[in-house]
Amino acid sequence: MYKPMHASRRRLLSSAAQALGLFVLAGALPGHEARAQVDAWDAAFASRDFKGALRALGGEGAEAGGQVQLDGPDVAENGAVVPFTVTTALPGVSLIALLVEHNPGPLAAVFTLPPGTEAFVSTRLKMAESSTVHALVRAEGGLFLARRPVRVIQGGCAG
């Protein structure tokens, strides 16, 4: 049965809000900051253009450099399951977001990391077409960005 994309995003945002609620209860995150974070994610997920999603996450002006490692394929045979890994040695990483520039909804994944957590995430993204994938990392030193172009092969042959 087909489920609309916005329904799965609502479930994701609901789960994220519950996780942030646990941080609030544990005293790790003030309530007003948690609400602001959920609102930013909602705006980023609702955005239909890359720059709007990046702006909603506060990622404009993020430093692009070698601080963040974004690993993934150069060529993906199946755009429905493209594997990516993000790692960094930056201190105090609290957020890792993955954005696919040419997807209809560019924000593909957001991960919050509690204090003391190793900054490593691995996931699979759906890519509608060949595009640049961006990893946005929020750490103590600010916002950092890594990019990786990925060519998606349609139907198992170069298109």
- Asked if 143 contacts 131 with a C-beta cutoff of 8 angstroms, the reply is no
**What value does the mean pLDDT take over residues 86-97?**
95
SS3 content of the chain, % helix, strand, coil (to 5): 30, 35, 40
Report residue 159's pLDDT band, with 50, 70 and 90 as the boundaries.
very low
**What value does the mean pLDDT take over residues 5-18?**
60
Is the pLDDT at 1 greater than 50? The verdict is no
Percent of the chain clearing pLDDT 70 (strictly above): 69
Among 7-11, 16-20, 105-109, 119-123, name the most confident range: 119-123
**What value does the mean pLDDT take over residues 47-76?**
89
